[in-house]
């Protein structure tokens, strides 16, 4: 097996899917693939299954035999491994690779965004999280999850929109463009309809309503404006904290990052950097670094 050319796989795993990138020793992209959810804090067995599926998939796409798995240096960046016992369980996995390193999805995203171990990221997608890695020290902020945290995220924006809509339907506030649109999207005519509709809602369901809040914010809707003001205030506080951490490069990433960034003061926008690469490229970089250290 040791005679095989080394291969590198970087994997970004989260609650909805995992993405893999395969590169050869010279840094050439051989293939990319997507498979199912990989959050070991939620479902450990499914995570291993998704990881093996996505690895077989990139090898197959690259025209390589399944046995090449034994030549792969793999870095997994996974949601959920900030919990120490979950991290331990992943590390203890009897994997079929040449080498495996497990870190957080935030860590690989940060390395992907900045091309080195140093830097900071603010993620705003379905959820919100902030991460800095400066001189070997990692700092994780806003990690409490929905609904206790995630202010400014898609889930939080949609959720706040629903709360405002219920106040209107309870007769406490006048209707607005936002609350009318939320009722239309939910097919709801009264507060009881909205409650029935949202009773089993998870973060991803609320996040589907976030575009309405973003649109109506631009239209000047008073509720959308109040919600966005509170969300942006929080995101700005997180960015200030990341700047204080000593990170020279800070990037906003995630599905809502472009739109939310545009709502920040221009002076602050100018202090932010664009992400250089994806989380998977960050994972590959860590895999290569890890392999070099092992070889040296």
Check: CB of residue 108 under 8 Å from CB of residue 283: yes
Q: Return the residue matching tokens 């016992």.
A: 85
Nearer of residues 69 and 198 to a copy of itself, judged by Cβ: 198
Q: Count residues contacting a copy of itself (CB under 8 A)?
A: 29
Beta-bridged to residue 18, according to DSSP, are 13, 35
Nearer of residues 149 and 254 to a copy of itself, judged by Cβ: 149
| Backbone torsions φ then ψ of 61, nearest 5 degrees | -60, -30
What is the footprint of a copy of itself within residues 97-136 (CB under 8 A)?
Answer: none
SS3 179: helix
Check: CB of residue 272 under 8 Å from CB of residue 103: no
SS3 244: helix
**With binding defined as CB under 8 A, does residue 289 bind a copy of itself?**
no
Write each residue from 52 to 91 as x if it is in contact with a copy of itself (CB under 8 A), else as -, in one continuous string.
Answer: ------------------------------x---------
Nearer of residues 47 and 128 to a copy of itself, judged by Cβ: 128
Write each residue from 207 to 236 as x if it is in contact with a copy of itself (CB under 8 A), else as -, in one continuous string.
Answer: ---------------------------x--
Nearby residues of 279 by Cβ (< 8 Å), 6 or more positions away: 10, 12, 19, 77, 105, 108, 109, 112
Residue 246: left if φ>0, alpha if ψ -120 to 50, beta else—which one?
left
Nearer of residues 60 and 89 to a copy of itself, judged by Cβ: 89
DSSP letter assigned to residue 14: -
- Give the residue, chosen from 76, 178, 198, 283, that forms a contact with a copy of itself under the rule CB under 8 A: 198
What is the footprint of a copy of itself within residues 268-287 (CB under 8 A)?
Answer: none
**With binding defined as CB under 8 A, does residue 172 bind a copy of itself?**
yes
**With binding defined as CB under 8 A, does residue 170 bind a copy of itself?**
yes
**With binding defined as CB under 8 A, does residue 48 bind a copy of itself?**
no
- Give the residue, chosen from 24, 43, 49, 167, that forms a contact with a copy of itself under the rule CB under 8 A: 167
Strand arrangement of the beta sheet that strand 7-13 belongs to:
29-35, 18-24, 7-13, 72-78, 99-104
Token couple for 32: 């990319």
Chain residues binding a copy of itself by CB under 8 A are 82, 141-145, 147-149, 159, 162-163, 166-167, 170-173, 191-192, 194-195, 198, 234, 237-238, 240-241, 244
């Amino acid at each position: 097996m040791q005679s095989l050319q080394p291969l590198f796989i970087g994997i970004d795993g989260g609650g909805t899917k995992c993405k893999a990138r395969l590169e050869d020793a010279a840094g050439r992209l051989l293939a990319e693939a997507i498979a199912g959810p990989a959050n070991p804090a939620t479902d450990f067995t499914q995570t291993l299954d998704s990881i093996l599926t996505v690895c077989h998939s990139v090898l197959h796409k690259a025209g390589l035999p399944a046995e090449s798995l034994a030549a792969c240096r793999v870095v997994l960046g996974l949601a959920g491994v900030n919990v120490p016992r979950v991290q331990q369980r992943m590390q203890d996995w009897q994997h079929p690779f040449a080498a495996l390193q497990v870190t957080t999805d935030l860590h690989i995203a940060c390395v992907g965004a900045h091309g080195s171990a140093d830097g900071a990221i603010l993620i705003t997608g379905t959820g919100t999280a902030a991460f800095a890695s400066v001189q070997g020290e990692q700092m994780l902020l806003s990690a409490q999850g929905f609904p206790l945290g995630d202010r400014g995220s898609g889930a939080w924006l949609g959720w706040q929109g629903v709360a405002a809509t219920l106040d209107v339907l309870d007769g406490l506030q006048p209707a607005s463009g936002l609350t009318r649109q939320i009722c239309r999207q939910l097919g709801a005519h009264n507060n009881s309809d909205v409650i029935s509709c949202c009773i089993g809602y998870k973060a991803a369901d609320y996040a589907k309503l976030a575009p309405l809040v973003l649109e109506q914010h631009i239209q000047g809707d008073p509720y959308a404006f109040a919600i966005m003001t509170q969300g942006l205030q929080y995101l700005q506080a997180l960015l200030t904290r990341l700047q204080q951490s000593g990170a020279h490069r800070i990037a906003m990433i995630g599905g809502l990052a472009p739109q939310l960034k545009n709502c920040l003061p221009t002076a602050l926008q100018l202090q932010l950097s664009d992400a250089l690469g994806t989380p998977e490229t960050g994972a590959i970089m860590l895999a290569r670094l890890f392999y070099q250290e092992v070889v040296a």
